Amino acid sequence: MKKHIKSALLLLVAVSAVTFYACKPQGPQAALTGDAAAKVYVAPGKYDEFYNFVSGGFNGQLSVYGIPSGRLFRIIPVFSQFAENGYGYSEESKPMLMTSHGFVPWDDLHHPALSTTNGEHDGRWAFVNANNTPRVARVNLKTFRTEEIIELPNSGGNHSSPFITENTEYVVAGTRFSVPMGDKSDVSISTYKENFKGTISFIKVDPTTGKMNINFQLKTPGVNFDLSRAGKGPSHGWFFFSCYNTEQAYTLLEVNATQKDKDFIMAVNWKKAEEYIAQGKGEKAKVNYAHNVLDESTHTATSEMLKEVLQLDPTVLKDIIYFIPCPKSPHGCDTDPTGEYIVASGKLAAIIPVFSFTKIQAAIAAKDFEGEFAGIPVIKYESALHGEVKKPGLGPLHTEFDEKGNAYTSFFVSSEIVKWNVKSLQVLDRVATYYSIGHLCVPGGPTRKPHGKYVIAYNKITKDRYLPTGPELTQSAQLYDISGDKMQLLLDFPTTGEPHYAEAIPANLIAPNSTKIYKIEDNRHPYVAKGEKETKVERKGKEVHVYMTAIRSHLTPDNIEGIKLGDVVYFHVTNLEQDWDVPHGFAVKGAANAEILIMPGETQTLKWIPDEVGVVPFYCTDFCSALHQEMQGYARVSPAGSPVPLKFSTGVVEETGSK
């Protein structure tokens, strides 16, 4: 009997031990179920369904991935020099990085905004922001190249940017830091309340060329602007910005800017602003900012400095802006596909308020205000509110939408995506992210026509998701299937830089229009050589200009003599190829910049200042053909004042090359 009791006891201990361990929280691997592999498998030679344009954060670039495979296709250099292809190093691309502070070779790129027509993606341009030295860039989605960069005057950090209106009429850029401006720029930091102002810049976009110009700026009370969305459908004509630091703190914001229960959503009636401008209202302010444009026919960017900007003061010109109270340091401010609901995510709030555009309009009409903030009317919270999502999670940041009336909100602190219904405000599902998600992306999520097949999480913490690579890790993204009632984790994929926002767009809106080559007959570069017969070397004082061509598998000229110490040599290399995917590269030994990559039909220029006497090799850096390794040449550098004449050739063999 005793024996039996003993065995029963043993069994009990064993069972409880097993049960105890079964109750222990499980690792993330357990979350992956079913047919995930089949859903993300894109067979060799087949194409992904979506392009995913992902900001690179502190790498200053925009990266392009395929969804659902998560494969990286390309990094488009925008605000940072890119030694890999010579962007920001070649003479043609250097003007792209000019600012009022001179040449700025780096920035922090946070948010892409893909152009839309009637609120739907049209696949023409991607607009992206530079957070540090405030700029907005436009990338052409035919060439995947940065075509234009405009600097923003009176901006102290361009985080709340770029956000576009339904037909890409405007790209807006709100300043993160309010700053003193104009004549009052040299003031004590402690005079924040009195002297510091925010600005929202409205950049007009030419509907055919995409060219940008700052149409006007709104001068706002001094707060921090964080994110924004334009209205759509019925709310077209309005913008909604999240504002924090309405405490107007200028030090230790962590404490001093988190005191109030509510900050604001700022509603902007930009059609009203246009009316005032049409009436001749507003003031021209003296400023200094760069506008840089790439000309596709000369393959060259030019930079000009602009000196004036039109400013409107909404404290004087009423009815342009209104504040709506919003709990605790709002971050994301997202309008749903119908344009009726505005979802504001207070980073420190325990609920998510959803505002109604109809109610906001009614409140404004009825002057249902609780008071003013710095001369701007503040609408009563309850009057603007559609409802609150209760207990959604911790640390809500951003919201994207599907076409079925559901919202997907990212939660940084509780590291999850929560699916909820916009109308009923009921939480429907939640999935974990690995780890601490920032932005998220549903293909077409910010448009009137989402493709609610996937949601992608861009995380801030990677830790153990991949093989370790020392203290510095790649970033982690996760792809989830949202076509069913339950969100399903499909894939982890690494991302470059630090992704913030990203947009995804159906591949068929972009792929058929992708440029394959530049036509050599359309090349209007001032130093082009459209054939080997046009190659030459010219001296202009201390400058030596080499009109060089590259074709499989030689450079013309490949023997150059007569360069002297003290000269500045410009290699203008034209790629004569007219076949897809036959770039050539060019590099010179000891050149103090980078290589250049030259696409078929294009001309790019590498500047080289020889620093010693001798014969200097140069070669093609892009493996172009079976005889790529033969694609090389020599430049002879003689002492200053040497009598060696300027001479160049290719394929000329002199038996006794003396002197």
Partner 1 sequence: MWAPQYPEGLEMKIWINTLSGDVKTISALNHYIGMKTIEVSMFPEFKYMIYLVGIMIGIGALTAIINKRWMLMIYLSTILLAGIGALIDFYLWGYDYGHNLNPEAPIKIEGMSYQPPLIGTKVLLNFTAFSGPDIGGWIFIGVGILLFALLIYEWKANKIK
Binding site for partner 1 (CB under 8 A): 551-553, 577-579, 625-627, 630
Query: Taking the complex as a whole, how short is the minimal distance between the CB of residue 523 and partner 1, in angstroms?
Result: 15
Q: Is 637 helix (H, G, I), strand (E, B) or coil?
A: strand
Query: Taking the complex as a whole, how short is the minimal distance between the CB of residue 387 and partner 1, in angstroms?
Result: 55
Give the amino acid at 268: V
Is 421 or 578 the residue whose CB approaches partner 1 more closely?
578
- Residue 6 is classified by DSSP as H
Query: Taking the complex as a whole, how short is the minimal distance between the CB of residue 628 and partner 1, in angstroms?
Result: 12
Q: Is cis: bond before 557, omega within 30 of 0?
A: yes
Is 254 or 521 the residue whose CB approaches partner 1 more closely?
521
Query: Taking the complex as a whole, how short is the minimal distance between the CB of residue 552 and partner 1, in angstroms?
Result: 6
Is 317 or 631 the residue whose CB approaches partner 1 more closely?
631
Is 592 or 627 the residue whose CB approaches partner 1 more closely?
627
Taking the CB of residue 511, how many other CB atoms lie within 10 A of it?
12
Phi first, then psi: give them for residue 5, nearest 5 degrees: -60, -45
Nearest CA among 152, 72, 59, 37 for reference residue 105: 59
Query: Taking the complex as a whole, how short is the minimal distance between the CB of residue 617 and partner 1, in angstroms?
Result: 20
Is 397 or 520 the residue whose CB approaches partner 1 more closely?
520
* Contact between 378 and 372 (Cβ < 8 Å): yes
- Residue 26 is classified by DSSP as P
Query: Taking the complex as a whole, how short is the minimal distance between the CB of residue 625 and partner 1, in angstroms?
Result: 8
Query: Taking the complex as a whole, how short is the minimal distance between the CB of residue 577 and partner 1, in angstroms?
Result: 7
Contacts of 505-508 with C-beta under 8 Å, sequence gap 24+, read 505/50, 505/51, 505/53, 505/114, 505/121, 505/123, 505/443, 505/444, 506/49, 506/50, 506/121, 506/443, 506/444, 506/451, 507/47, 507/48, 507/49, 507/50, 507/51, 507/66
* Contact between 567 and 542 (Cβ < 8 Å): yes
Q: Is 490 helix (H, G, I), strand (E, B) or coil?
A: strand
CA separation for the pair 117, 133 (Å, rounded): 29
CA separation for the pair 343, 336 (Å, rounded): 8
Is 472 or 579 the residue whose CB approaches partner 1 more closely?
579
Is 117 or 629 the residue whose CB approaches partner 1 more closely?
629
Is 333 or 551 the residue whose CB approaches partner 1 more closely?
551
Q: Is cis: bond before 162, omega within 30 of 0?
A: yes
Phi first, then psi: give them for residue 587, nearest 5 degrees: -145, 145
Query: Taking the complex as a whole, how short is the minimal distance between the CB of residue 657 and partner 1, in angstroms?
Result: 20
Nearest CA among 418, 409, 411, 455 for reference residue 436: 411
CA separation for the pair 497, 606 (Å, rounded): 27
Is 521 or 612 the residue whose CB approaches partner 1 more closely?
521
Query: Taking the complex as a whole, how short is the minimal distance between the CB of residue 513 and partner 1, in angstroms?
Result: 17
- Residue 328 is classified by DSSP as S
Is 414 or 578 the residue whose CB approaches partner 1 more closely?
578
Residue where the block lists tokens 């998701």: 465
- Residue 272 is classified by DSSP as H
Query: Taking the complex as a whole, how short is the minimal distance between the CB of residue 104 and partner 1, in angstroms?
Result: 40
Is 515 or 553 the residue whose CB approaches partner 1 more closely?
553
Token digits of residue 228: 């924004």
First to last CA, the chain: 113
Query: Taking the complex as a whole, how short is the minimal distance between the CB of residue 655 and partner 1, in angstroms?
Result: 17
